[in-house]
Chain A
Amino acid sequence: MTTQQIDLSEWTFWLPIAFTISGIGLFILSRFWTRAWFATFTLTIAGVTALTVASPFVGWWLPAQGSSFSGEVDNLFLLIMFLTGLFFLLTEGLILFVLWNHAPKPGTAPPHIHGDHRLELIWTVVPGILLALIAVIQMPTWARMKGLGNESWLSARYESGGDKADLLLTVQGRQWEWRVRYRDPSAPPLARPLEWATHPEATDLHAVNEVHAYPGAKVRLLLRTQDVIHSFFVPELRLKQDMLPGRTVPTWFIPTVPAGTSNETRWEIACAELCGGNHYRMRGHLVIHPDKASFETWYSTAAREQSRRSRPPETGPLARKTN
């Protein structure tokens, strides 16, 4: 509780003040030492670089990897990080060099140069090729994440004999909860799964704010919303998809957990598109059962419970904060 209020002794409070004081110090220094400005820029650039490099070691980094494509996305991220990092160090290094070296040798004037075609050609072509490469290398992953490949279980219409999703479910957003509906996994495949999103069947299982799945399951999500735009975001899955009023937006994931996980894994579902005052409270959970068998146990229990009550559950209470 106390950490959520102002605590004067924490580093988060005194460090910015220390930086302010050193800024005043550097300014005073600059009155009689021109390279104080070199120092100001160097310390700042070094500071942000150090924070970036140190962050993974103190737990300020990407969430755990939890889907079939999360590793791939992270690698693309790291590739861009590496290339932009090189460019960052190069250009900032040049600026710092100029600041250090701030005047031509005594007795000489700055060169009178208006440009250099060869140099300009180099710094146009090299970044151009690198950038094009960055763009092209993203494309296969993007196509796969968005289901543009030729996997039959992701097509809008199952081919006969085609592969079918292990779990088909709709998640409908509304202010401020996620309403989940599963299609009975034992039911026959649908010719047009997207239509099922708006045409519920009696055997569907309903739930609120919880999505259950198991490792390796091919989960097909049909996203809908009742009121405003929401966005289904599970950081560990590297999955984020807006829900659009009036449309069914399909997406998918295959959850993965570290080998040997014997308990349920619970990840948080967050809303990533402003959806009103309680946007921040639109919290759900993705529950990954340790294996298919335990998922099926959970599913049949829940389905039995639902048929006993013979009606879908009422609106669940908002996920209230527990202190």
Chain B
Amino acid sequence: MSAPVSHHTDDHAPSGFLSRYVFSKDHKVIGIQFFFSSILFLLLGGALALLVRLQVGYPEQALGLLTYCFPFLQSRIPAEWGGRMSPEFYTMLFTMHASVMIFFVIIPWLTGAFGNFLIPLMIGARDMAFPTLNMLSYWFMWPAFICICASFFVDGGASGVGWTAYPTLSSAATANGDWASPAARHAGAGHVLWLISLMFVGVSSLMGSINYITTVIHCRAPGMSLWRMPLTVWALLITAILQSVALPPLTVALIMQLLDKTAGTTFFLPPGGVGFGNWTTGPGGGQPLLWQHLFWFYSHPAVYIMILPAMGMVSDIMVAFCRKPLFGYKPMVFSMAAIAGLGFIVWGHHMFQSGMDPRLGTGFMLATIMIALPSAIKTFNWLATIWGGDIVFSSAMLNALAFVSMFIIGGLSGIFMAATPVDVVFHDTYFIVAHIHYVLFLSSLFGIYAATYYWYPKMFGRCMSENLGQLHFALTFILANCTFYPMHILGIGGHPRRYYDPTLYEFLLPFQSLNRFMTVSAVLLGLVQILFIVNVFGSLFWGKKASRNPWNSNGLEWDTPSPPPHGNFDVTPLVLRGPYEYAVTGPSSDHLTQTQTEGQQS
């Protein structure tokens, strides 16, 4: 199959500071913009998580010093709680932690930062198919950034109805036109901003995904057939398809909830209405369950949006650091496609206990358990890839290895929740929290770290510190397991999520020491991330200068200078083979890049 010749997508050379660094249409600059905003939001999301852990671990501990350090906290904590955070404040913390991490860190970092930066470079394109759309996809994040940050300061505070925002807790509105919610203090103006903010994120992702699909289909360099694309590109392409199909229903659902909240519609209000104390809403015309179907129809594929790109990048990183071809390239692609396809018919596993017809549960269980199969195939392929390899223990490789070993735990724990009778016990307990963090923190974030260490030299022309990176890895790996693994045990004991003070319950008292252990580990884990931040920002100035191909890798992105100039390639590359020709007797080394002719010096 011959790919179409790339057309001129780079005729937008920057002419000044603003067009070079701010309103840039260069995919690399846009990727780096996503990269830095994701890091900033990682700090915010992490701080929120630590406050959550502080409360669960030590429910009667006054915040003390913290409130003096952060006057913002002080003004948000009602006096009657004696310096402790209030239960409402606590609901806000975990809601915003999840929302920030999912919509402002993991998704933009994977698809926004790496997707933008890598796709054109890896397929040999001079830029994205639609550079202006690409710029807009980043600048549509800014209304979202502003709304989500502003929501902390509005009356009632940021949203506190859970990141799933189930009606009627989230959607109930008073009749008198203000946004204060009769259901919860944190479901007022802050929640309206939350809805608007997510809508902007959705539009941004949609623009990005259309651009990625078009670019991959249309702008590949000569010789770059689909089956010569690196797995990173395959993963980002499949993710983009997922996003473009799953986002419209979410956007619709968000608009419906926004209308319920502000315009008096009743999409999610049952015919009999609901009552709070002595006050009753009027009759509704909808169903609260509708939201759950719409929401999970997006948010379950979103889980794969948050893991597939990491899977692709980890595969590419692993081969470079075990100097061996990827094992089972096509099965890897097909299993990613299978995950994406099956991902659309499993959303109901979030709703086994929701009151949905239990017969549906049986079907969703079958689909959900079978989705473990492509994940298992991928795991075995990774194992076979590193088997017998010559492993280079770089920061990137260590994080990639951690990705695989922790994804095993996250994947296996998913089977428990997929099994409907067992899910009765685990639904909405800490077992779920453990599972999601094994997938999103110990897999996705480790994948992101691996990719950051690996492609940083290409992004900035300097390498990150290996010493700092490996220290950061050792501590993060150990402490993340200390923080999240015991959550499985809590879940087995029936510990519900989102409890402000679990010590109220006798059956939870034996688990409180584990809660304290996890909190201390979490605080240390948070502190250790400073090493990463220092490494990212410090290496910009003091990092070792990077050559074109510091890791002796095969991908097209390593055929350009570090960092690549506007337009990426001096001459349009001619692709001769796939990216996994390692362990060969090359002209000067053990590998053949995608453009090298057999006798050519690298």
- CB-CB contacts below 8 Å: A8-26 with B: 10-13, 15-17, 19-20, 22-24, 26
| Residue pair A275, B425 in contact (C-beta under 8 Å) | no
Contacts of A314 in B (CB 8 A): none
- CB-CB contacts below 8 Å: B330-383 with A: 330-331, 353-355, 358-359, 361-362, 365-366, 369-370, 372-373, 376-377, 379-381, 383
Contact of A235 among B387, B402, B494, B510 (CB under 8 A): B494
Task: Give the residue name and chain of the B residue nearest to A114 (CB).
Answer: B325
- The answer, yes or no, to whether B424 is at the interface (CB within 8 Å) is yes
- The answer, yes or no, to whether B36 is at the interface (CB within 8 Å) is no
Q: Choose, from B13-21, B514-522, B564-572, the stretch at the interface.
A: B514-522
Contacts of B404 in A (CB 8 A): 95
Q: Choose, from A120-128, A207-215, A293-301, A303-311, the stretch at the interface.
A: A120-128
Contacts of B485 in A (CB 8 A): 47-48, 51
Query: A113 and B500 in contact (CB under 8 A), knowing A145-B421, A277-B87?
Result: no
Contacts of A283 in B (CB 8 A): 504-505
Contact of A27 among B386, B416, B474, B512 (CB under 8 A): B474
Contact of B386 among A80, A81, A92, A98 (CB under 8 A): A98
Assembly CA distance A17 to B425 (angstroms): 33
Min CB gap B184→A, angstroms:
4
- The answer, yes or no, to whether B482 is at the interface (CB within 8 Å) is yes
Query: A103 and B365 in contact (CB under 8 A), knowing A111-B583, A135-B419, A246-B287?
Result: no
- The answer, yes or no, to whether B109 is at the interface (CB within 8 Å) is no
| Residue pair A274, B162 in contact (C-beta under 8 Å) | yes
- The answer, yes or no, to whether B477 is at the interface (CB within 8 Å) is yes
Q: Choose, from A37-45, A160-168, A189-197, the stretch at the interface.
A: A37-45
- The answer, yes or no, to whether B3 is at the interface (CB within 8 Å) is no
Assembly CA distance A277 to B496 (angstroms): 15
| Residue pair A268, B507 in contact (C-beta under 8 Å) | yes
- The answer, yes or no, to whether A141 is at the interface (CB within 8 Å) is yes
| Residue pair B373, A20 in contact (C-beta under 8 Å) | no
Contacts of B511 in A (CB 8 A): 60
Query: A227 and B275 in contact (CB under 8 A), knowing A98-B383, A124-B373, A276-B169?
Result: yes
| Residue pair B275, A226 in contact (C-beta under 8 Å) | yes
Assembly CA distance A123 to B331 (angstroms): 11
Contact of A321 among B161, B381, B504 (CB under 8 A): B504
Task: Give the residue name and chain of the B residue nearest to A137 (CB).
Answer: B419
Assembly CA distance A91 to B376 (angstroms): 10
- The answer, yes or no, to whether B506 is at the interface (CB within 8 Å) is yes
Contacts of A246 in B (CB 8 A): 269-272, 274, 284, 287-288
Contacts of A259 in B (CB 8 A): none
- The answer, yes or no, to whether A180 is at the interface (CB within 8 Å) is no
- The answer, yes or no, to whether A238 is at the interface (CB within 8 Å) is yes
Min CB gap B172→A, angstroms:
7
- The answer, yes or no, to whether B58 is at the interface (CB within 8 Å) is yes
Contacts of A120 in B (CB 8 A): 328, 331, 377, 380-381
- The answer, yes or no, to whether B422 is at the interface (CB within 8 Å) is yes
| Residue pair B372, A142 in contact (C-beta under 8 Å) | no
Task: Give the residue name and chain of the A residue nearest to B61 (CB).
Answer: A5
Query: A112 and B479 in contact (CB under 8 A), knowing A246-B287, A246-B288?
Result: no
Min CB gap A61→B, angstroms:
6
Contacts of A174 in B (CB 8 A): 275
Contact of B496 among A45, A92, A104, A271 (CB under 8 A): A271
Assembly CA distance A91 to B512 (angstroms): 32
| Residue pair A146, B361 in contact (C-beta under 8 Å) | yes
Tell which of B331, B372, B377, B512 has the most Cβ of chain A within 10 Å.
B372
| Residue pair A227, B324 in contact (C-beta under 8 Å) | no
Assembly CA distance A233 to B496 (angstroms): 9
Chain B interface size, as a band, is: 35 or more
Tell which of B167, B497, B498 has the most Cβ of chain A within 10 Å.
B498
| Residue pair A3, B512 in contact (C-beta under 8 Å) | yes
- The answer, yes or no, to whether B185 is at the interface (CB within 8 Å) is yes
Min CB gap B167→A, angstroms:
8
- The answer, yes or no, to whether B155 is at the interface (CB within 8 Å) is no
Query: A44 and B428 in contact (CB under 8 A), knowing A131-B370, A142-B421?
Result: no
- The answer, yes or no, to whether B452 is at the interface (CB within 8 Å) is no
- CB-CB contacts below 8 Å: B510-560 with A: 510-514, 516-517, 520-521, 524, 528
Min CB gap A145→B, angstroms:
6
| Residue pair A98, B387 in contact (C-beta under 8 Å) | yes
Interface membership of chain A positions 132-165, coded 1 if the CB is closer than 8 angstroms to chain B and 0 otherwise: 1011001101110111100000000000000000
| Residue pair A76, B419 in contact (C-beta under 8 Å) | yes
Contacts of A72 in B (CB 8 A): 421
Assembly CA distance A125 to B91 (angstroms): 45
| Residue pair A244, B393 in contact (C-beta under 8 Å) | no
Query: A272 and B327 in contact (CB under 8 A), knowing A95-B401, A98-B383?
Result: no
- The answer, yes or no, to whether B326 is at the interface (CB within 8 Å) is yes
- The answer, yes or no, to whether A249 is at the interface (CB within 8 Å) is yes
Query: A229 and B425 in contact (CB under 8 A), knowing A40-B474, A92-B408?
Result: no
| Residue pair A228, B493 in contact (C-beta under 8 Å) | no
Min CB gap A265→B, angstroms:
13
- The answer, yes or no, to whether A187 is at the interface (CB within 8 Å) is no
Min CB gap A307→B, angstroms:
26
- The answer, yes or no, to whether A99 is at the interface (CB within 8 Å) is yes
Contact of B365 among A47, A138, A175 (CB under 8 A): A138
Interface membership of chain A positions 261-283, coded 1 if the CB is closer than 8 angstroms to chain B and 0 otherwise: 00000011011111111111101
Min CB gap A45→B, angstroms:
7
Min CB gap A225→B, angstroms:
8
Interface membership of chain B positions 147-181, coded 1 if the CB is closer than 8 angstroms to chain A and 0 otherwise: 00000000000001110001111001000000000
| Residue pair B408, A128 in contact (C-beta under 8 Å) | no
Query: A62 and B270 in contact (CB under 8 A), knowing A20-B479, A92-B408, A99-B401?
Result: no
| Residue pair B514, A16 in contact (C-beta under 8 Å) | no
Min CB gap B574→A, angstroms:
22
Min CB gap A51→B, angstroms:
7
Contact of A229 among B276, B288, B500, B584 (CB under 8 A): B288
- The answer, yes or no, to whether B388 is at the interface (CB within 8 Å) is yes
Interface membership of chain B positions 446-481, coded 1 if the CB is closer than 8 angstroms to chain A and 0 otherwise: 000000000000000000000000110011011101
Interface membership of chain B positions 268-290, coded 1 if the CB is closer than 8 angstroms to chain A and 0 otherwise: 01111011100000001001110
Assembly CA distance A246 to B274 (angstroms): 8
- The answer, yes or no, to whether A59 is at the interface (CB within 8 Å) is yes
| Residue pair A247, B270 in contact (C-beta under 8 Å) | yes
Interface membership of chain A positions 233-253, coded 1 if the CB is closer than 8 angstroms to chain B and 0 otherwise: 101001111111111010000
Question: 16 A-B pairs, CB-CB below 8 angstroms?
Answer: A4-B512, A13-B520, A22-B478, A24-B475, A41-B402, A95-B386, A98-B387, A110-B582, A123-B376, A138-B421, A139-B365, A227-B276, A231-B428, A268-B505, A274-B498, A280-B500
Given A51-B489, A98-B387, A244-B289, 15 additional A-B pairs, CB 8 A: A12-B517, A48-B481, A73-B421, A112-B582, A113-B327, A115-B328, A120-B377, A127-B372, A134-B419, A143-B358, A227-B275, A245-B269, A245-B274, A279-B87, A283-B505
